[in-house]
């Protein structure tokens, strides 16, 4: 299979928002790293739930509660199958990647001792930095950081020196949301395990682009957000190995995460409910299952090749712009292009692109340490999904040329 066999128009027809206009121009949506658009079957599932199935789950004997429970748990099973988790109880519904990482930071953090070390990298999103800083302050731990090279790749030689018997967790992004760098997580997981450390993979920018097999990776935790993989906002997943989750204390207390409550003692529910306190985002969970049903219908090899062709085409087109510098030139990249233009602030370019119907992201992308490394205030970021086209990239390039000309 190759990119030419990928029927992008058939895909685009499933996403109603792509037909709208912005500022009198047809929308060109290139901000998929921030959030992806939703196919019709995901939108319909939310409408169906609130129109015909709205009821609380796991605790009702009436028919609608049972229907909602079945739909919610079927979504969990669908996601389990997609990421190749061994059991559905290893799939924890959360609010998103940030919530998933905070869950691990709290629950695993309760098992750590003063002087233990957490290892992250220089390219992490703030949601994979700040929770560990808070944990280190609370428990007297040490946070260490893997440096990066100028091209946006990890300094892998430094990893061996940073890992030690004190390292209890490596928490690292699979794909950089700013640079597009695909990190060699398989090798990093092996190195961390050899040192006795557990591993959390931030999959917020990888789950939508290529297949994920958590058992083959052998990661201990894998976190991602629903809204970046064509599902709704406010829902996400934490995968964790069953044995590890069973040995961790719960993150929050409340309904559904308990087996028995008395004023003397409370015993906790079995997995996955132990980590799912309170009424969940039911419609979101069901819709996330539908997003993965959409993903299951795709030929992922074609998707990977097609998105890579968009990346290569964009970088080729941008190479013709004088004074434009791409930030992040790793040899292995996902479909993200960040760049700066000499003497022009990214915000100004982004504003003028929006006037021409082009949606990109500008700023530090929640990676301020990365901006400090490159000594820039931010970048313009174009991030692609399977429904984008080379024709849209041409429109983007034309709009960018006009914006630069206006701002000189």
**Using alpha carbons only, what angle is made at residue 62 by residues 58 and 67, rounded to the nearest 5 degrees?**
60
Can you state the percent helix, strand and coil of the chain, rounding each to 5? 45, 20, 35
Question: Is residue 205 classed exposed, middle or buried when 0-12, 13-18 and 19+ CB atoms within 10 A define those classes?
Answer: buried
Q: Which of 89, 136, 219, 366 is catalytic?
A: 366
What is the sign of the dihedral through the CA atoms of 132, 137, 141 and 143? positive
The length of the chain in residues reads 408
What's the rounded Cα separation, in Å, for the pair 11 and 252? 40
CA 308 to chain centre: 18
Q: Any catalytic annotation for residue 136? A: no
- HSE-CB for 32 with a 13 A CA cutoff: 27
Short-list 194, 169, 212, CA closest to 79 = 212
- List the beta bridge partners of residue 260: 267
What's the rounded Cα separation, in Å, for the pair 240 and 82? 15
Q: 19: which 2 tokens?
A: 């037909």
What's the rounded Cα separation, in Å, for the pair 250 and 401? 53
Short-list 184, 190, 177, CA closest to 225 = 177
What's the rounded Cα separation, in Å, for the pair 104 and 214? 17
Which residues does the annotation mark as catalytic?
A: 366
């Amino acid at each position: 299979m190759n990119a030419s066999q990928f029927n992008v128009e058939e895909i685009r027809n499933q996403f109603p928002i792509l037909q709208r206009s912005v500022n009198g121009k047809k929308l060109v949506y290139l901000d998929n790293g921030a959030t992806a658009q939703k196919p019709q079957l995901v939108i319909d599932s939310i409408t169906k739930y609130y129109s015909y199935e709205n009821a609380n789950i796991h605790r009702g004997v009436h028919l609608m509660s049972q229907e909602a429970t079945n739909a919610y748990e079927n979504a969990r099973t669908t996601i389990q199958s997609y990421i190749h988790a061994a059991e559905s109880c290893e799939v924890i519904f959360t609010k998103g990647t940030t919530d998933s990482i905070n869950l691990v930071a709290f629950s695993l953090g309760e098992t750590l001792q003063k002087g233990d070390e957490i290892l992250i990298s220089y390219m992490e999103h703030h949601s994979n930095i700040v929770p560990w800083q808070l944990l280190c302050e609370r428990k007297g731990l040490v946070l260490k950081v893997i440096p990066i090279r100028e091209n946006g790749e990890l300094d892998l030689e430094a990893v061996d020196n940073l890992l030690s018997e004190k390292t209890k967790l490596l928490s690292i992004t699979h794909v950089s949301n700013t640079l597009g760098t695909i990190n060699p997580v398989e090798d990093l997981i092996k190195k961390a395990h050899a040192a006795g450390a557990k591993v959390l993979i931030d999959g917020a920018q990888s789950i939508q682009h290529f297949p994920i097999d958590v058992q083959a990776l052998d990661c201990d935790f894998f976190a991602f957000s629903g809204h970046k993989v064509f599902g709704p906002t406010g829902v996400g997943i934490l995968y964790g190995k069953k044995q590890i989750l069973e040995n961790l204390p719960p993150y929050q207390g409340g309904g559904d995460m308990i087996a028995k409550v008395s004023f003397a003692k409370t015993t906790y529910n079995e997995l996955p409910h132990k980590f799912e306190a309170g009424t969940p985002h039911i419609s979101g969970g069901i819709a996330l299952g539908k997003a993965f049903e959409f993903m299951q219908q795709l030929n992922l090899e074609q998707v990977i090749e097609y998105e890579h062709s968009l990346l290569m085409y964009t970088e080729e087109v941008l190479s013709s712009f004088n004074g434009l510098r791409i930030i992040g030139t790793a040899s292995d990249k996902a479909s993200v292009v960040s760049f700066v233009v000499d003497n022009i602030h990214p915000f100004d370019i982004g504003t003028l692109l929006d006037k021409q119907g082009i949606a990109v992201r500008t700023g530090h992308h929640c990676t301020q340490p990365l901006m400090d490394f490159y000594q820039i205030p931010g970048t313009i970021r174009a991030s692609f999904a399977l429904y984008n086209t080379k024709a849209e990239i041409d429109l983007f390039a034309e709009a960018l040329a006009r914006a630069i000309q206006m701002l000189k």
